[in-house]
Amino acid sequence: MQMEYQQQMTKIKEGTIVSPLGFTAAGIHTKVKRKRKDLGLIFCDVPAETAAVYTLNQIIAAPLTVTKESIASEGKIQAVVINSGNANACTGSQGMLDAYTMRDTVAKQFSIKNNYVAVASTGIIGENMPMDKITPGISQLLPKKNDEAALSFNESILTTDTIMKSTCYEVEINGVKVKMAGSAKGSGMIAPNMATMLGFITTDANISNECLQTALKEVTDETFNRITVDGDTSTNDMVLVMASGMAGNDSLTPEHSEWETFHRLLKQVCEDLAVMIARDGEGATKLIEVLVTGAHTNEEAGIVAKSVVGSDLVKTMVFGSDPNWGRVMMAVGKSGVKIDPNKIDIALGDHTLLFQSEPTNYAESELTKYLNNEKVIININLNIGFGAGKAWGCDLTYDYVRINASYRT
């Protein structure tokens, strides 16, 4: 079944957020940031069925409140406006007014309903929005369906990111081609609680917002909720998916014969973006992937994997190329999942360090050499069940402190 699915799905190397039918994008520089583009837009030719997941932080930025309100109205969004450089978080009643102003200005600009506009912001917390730059900037947003427009959008949502993050796939459903693409930003303030970043996904699949919400929630738990950079959950985190329906497939529901194909398509796009975020952690030099097998359930395997990849001591172990597997064992034990301490296997890549909780004979020089790779895989077998799960993160470096010590200056 898995092999059959992989043969059906095709990665579009040159694909972008505007590849699915009906979508255009734009990104410009309004001088909120000194140099890089800082205001972006995704536009759909029709009101798109929309689903979203949000931060679990109790402090929620004004744009998220406005976006929730918009989606709750009809379950459809036609335009998403995003600014970087200012988070519009912890800005009180003025922040709410500014978020509504962004929404209403976009609605007027494109002659659509106010509730068909979503708003997102990212950047410095606690400073009022520079609306003298944002409002006139919105009038300059001219969305187009080309690579340049997509790249401009990708740049406009970045903060401390060092790379733009995007992905695109195509799959056949009901005999028609369905495309799905995603763009995301995220580098710091990343923790395994939804949503851990800003992510925007477009698809031309025909699906209701209710079914799309079901799929997104399930997929989020296995992708965006499995990454961590620094254990901090932002006030502005959101992942939003828009479906134009223009591919013309039969409406997708969990009862549809190809629901699993769509579900796996969404999971692949989300996993691609999640891994890119983990790899681009502030100051990171290495991607860490933790694979846990032999747990009682898949959920418990995921909890253990997140505990390991989120451990600062494991992160520094990887940064220093020091095969101190005791730190991995510690992180397994503190996960809260019931385990058998006498049955655990641990390996770094193909190098087994622990078998049935007994140290093996290994060459430390070989392990150090392995830990010098840009991607480090930690394999853990709990040997108590059949559950499996993954999590992703990055090493913790001196540069992380340098970047965050001077974030505002």
Residues marked as catalytic? 196
Helix axis angle, 62-74 to 92-110, nearest 10°: 50
Helix axis angle, 298-309 to 326-333, nearest 10°: 130
Residues 6+ apart with CB under 8 A from 354: 325, 329, 344, 345, 346, 347, 360
- The answer to whether residues 119 and 40 touch, using CB atoms and an 8 Å cutoff, is no
Query: Hey, what amino acid is at 389?
Result: G
Joined together, the tokens standing for residue 290 give 């933790």
Beta strands in 94-237 (DSSP E): 117-124, 165-173, 176-185, 198-203, 227-228
In a 3-state reduction of DSSP, which class is residue 304?
A: helix
**Could you give the count of Cα atoms lying within 13 Å of 344 in the half-sphere of its Cβ?**
25
The phi and psi torsions of 255 (rounded to 5 degrees) equal -90, -10
